Structure 1
Amino acid sequence: MRPLTEDESKVAFEKLANYIGKNLVHLVDRQDEPHCFRLHKGRVYYVSEASMRLGISVARPNLVSLGTCLGKFNKSGKFKLHITSLDYLAPYAKYKVWIKPNGEMPFLYGNHVLKAHLGRITEDTPEHQGVVIYNMSDVPLGFGVTARSTVDTRKLDPTSIIVFHQADVGEYLRDEDTLF
């Protein structure tokens, strides 16, 4: 487990900033306990410094994970967020989308959010912006990227895609063997 290089940090923080914006500061400078980002086997972990010090005593080949896996770097150097990062994205999300009860199951099965399933959306959400998707009871279900801005969504027909699916809590069941 090693610290992220400058290039890796830049790529990971840009991806996180797409979803939480300037609230990224709240992840880095926490008031309760200092946390840091570590890389292990291509995955980025968000771990408290106390846990990290304890994890140093474990040999690298024997270490499976430590902290919360935020995402993974692929072979081309791009960073992909995992659903395990939802607990850290949801409280600080800059833009949010709420879906109706009839749209929850299609989203949890990995489908995009259609206009017919849209309950509410944060005002002035731009196109291609990272959003956290909630049900109408304010429970975070996943995250995605907007296909259209808030202004454009009002003119679309009910079968148009509003949010492209990135990850949802159904992945805990569908991809449990490859998630960690």
Structure 2
Amino acid sequence: MRPLTDDETKRLFKKLSVYIGDNVKLLIDRPDGNYVFRLHKDRIYYAKESLVKLTSNFARKQLISFGTCIGKFTKNGACRLHITALDFLAPYAKHKVWAKPGAEQSFLYGNHVLKSGLGRIAENTAANQGVVIHSMNDMPIGFGVAAKSAQDCHQADPMAIVCYHQADVGEYLRSETHLT
């Protein structure tokens, strides 16, 4: 376990800012204490500073996990967010998409959101903007990238892709079936 380098921090904050903009600083200085990002075995963990101090009591090989794994760095150095980051992205998300119940189930199976399944979209959403996908009852179910701007969605064909799938809460269940 080690702190992120400046380059790694820039890549992580750039990825997070795609979804939450300038609210990245709110992830670090929270009312309930200071939180930090740490790297352990190519995984990025987000944990309270006091918890990180307690992990120093364990040898690196004995430490499996701590805090919340929010992503990883790939072999080529790119930052990839995991679905576990959703709980931290959703409250600060600037751009949101709401999926209808039928499209919600399709999204949870790993498919993109189509115009026919679009319930609502935030007005200021631009194309290629990171978005958090919610069900119609405001429960965050995943995140993705807007394929079209909010204005383009109004004139789009019903079968046009509105939001590309990045991660969803159904991933855990799908990955568990491959392990058994």
Give the TM-score, by structure 1 length. Answer: 0.96
Aligned to 2:149: 149
Output the aligned Cα RMSD: 1.2
Whole-angstrom CA distance in 1 between matches of 2:15 and 2:137: 27
Name the amino acid aligned to 2:44: V
Aligned to 2:69: 69
Q: Using the aligned pairs only, state the percent identity.
A: 58
CA deviation vs aligned residue, 1:44-98 (integer Å, no higher than 9, x gap): 0000011111111111111111100110100100000000000000000010000
Name the amino acid aligned to 1:160: A
- Runs of 4+ in structure 1 off by over 3 angstroms are none
Note the C-alpha offset of 1:133: 0.3
Whole-angstrom CA distance in 1 between matches of 2:15 and 2:176: 23
Whole-angstrom CA distance in 1 between matches of 2:154 and 2:120: 11
Note the C-alpha offset of 1:29: 1.1
Aligned to 2:40: 40
Name the amino acid aligned to 1:4: L
Whole-angstrom CA distance in 2 between matches of 1:156 and 1:31: 42
Aligned to 1:87: 87
Whole-angstrom CA distance in 2 between matches of 1:51 and 1:42: 19
| Cα 1:177/1:8, change in 2 over 3 Å | farther
Whole-angstrom CA distance in 1 between matches of 2:83 and 2:176: 11
Number of aligned residue pairs: 178
How is 1:1-180 mapped onto 2 (pairs within 5 angstroms)?
Answer: 1-176=1-176
Whole-angstrom CA distance in 1 between matches of 2:68 and 2:175: 17
Whole-angstrom CA distance in 2 between matches of 1:32 and 1:156: 44
Whole-angstrom CA distance in 2 between matches of 1:128 and 1:177: 32
Whole-angstrom CA distance in 2 between matches of 1:176 and 1:59: 29
CA deviation vs aligned residue, 1:86-132 (integer Å, no higher than 9, x gap): 00000000100000011111100000000000000000201100000
Whole-angstrom CA distance in 1 between matches of 2:96 and 2:122: 5
Name the amino acid aligned to 2:58: V
Secondary structure in 2 aligned to 1:164? Answer: strand
Secondary structure in 2 aligned to 1:62? Answer: coil
Secondary structure in 1 aligned to 2:128? Answer: coil
Give the TM-score, by structure 2 length. Answer: 0.96
